[in-house]
Amino acid sequence: MPFVRFAPRLFAYIFTSLLQKQKYSAIIKNEAKNAGFDFCGISKADFLREEAPKLEQWLKDNRHGQMKYMENYFDKRLDPRLLVEGAKSVISLLYNYYPSQIQNPDAPKLSKYAYGTDYHEVIRTKLNHFLSALREKIGSINGRAFVDSAPVMDKVWAQKSGLGWIGKNTNLINKQNGSFYFIAELIVDVEVEYDGPVKDYCGTCTRCLDACPTNAFVSPYVIDGSKCISYLTIELKDEIPGEFAGKMNNWVFGCDVCQDVCPWNRFSQPHNEPEFNNKNGLLNKSDKDWADITEETFSVIFKHSAIKRTKYKGLKRNIKFIKTGRS
């Protein structure tokens, strides 16, 4: 019978292919570690069927506020194969940014990820080195690197790759080290052995939902981005609505409340990235220092900082609002 004659060769091919996928997966994870990433997981590049109706409804309900770019490239956001020709795998990576020091408690607050050099600059460099290392070990690879810079649903892919679960606060939570991580991806045309998702360990806890100063959570796992302090202090370019007066908890760039109260972040460990350390005495600045900041000083201090996203005008608006309740 023809099948019996070809069966040994077919099984040998399948076995060899499986070994190659396992080998490539091991190389990727080893090189990710060498590049300095804390965690690496891999998923099959495919259409995110379950996410499509959720994203569509979220946009329809205008939960994205003025972030109109979220409406762009809807199909690409859900299917990485439309971003990278021939894509077969999404490599998800986590990079720790939890600091060893925090700000002067009386000063206007900055999100912890903004203490040092802009993460886009730091991680993009690491991603490029990582991709080069993979090409040396595996061969020709067509791929693109992303770090919060394209229509990629990074948290969803990280969850599918087993790096954690998306918590009720909509952040990716890693069971070993919490949620103070940057998420990055390589989308490549190499087929490898894939990882799978992990269990959701939020349980009955609602600390993040209860602690949100602006009641931005519509329900567990759903956030109204237009009410989030991070949106109000960074993405929003107009005046901050008066309804949020007295609710900003002194935050002027981003907000960490829903992460700070999360029990899983008791496992957070300080990062080892020098570029993320405090720059220009930022953590020691007083309330008066922030109130008196000039545009020239802003340009010097935040030249390579994520804080430049809000621009000088935006930062002054935020500082004024937490003091007076008016933009």
Q: Known catalytic residues?
A: 148
Q: Which amino acid is at 56?
A: E
Identify the DSSP state of 282.
G
Backbone region of residue 59 per phi and psi (left: phi > 0; alpha: psi in -120 to 50; beta: other values) = alpha
C-alpha–C-alpha distance, residues 40 and 30, integer Å? 9
Q: Which amino acid is at 207?
A: R
Q: Which amino acid is at 192?
A: V
Angle, helices 119-138/2-34, rounded to nearest 10 degrees:
140
The 3-class SS string of 130-178 reads: HHHHHHHHHCCCCEEEECCCCCCCHHHHHHHCCCCEECCCCCEEECCCE
C-alpha–C-alpha distance, residues 129 and 139, integer Å? 15
C-alpha–C-alpha distance, residues 305 and 327, integer Å? 23
Identify the H or E element spanning 316: helix 311-324
Counting every residue, how long is the chain?
327
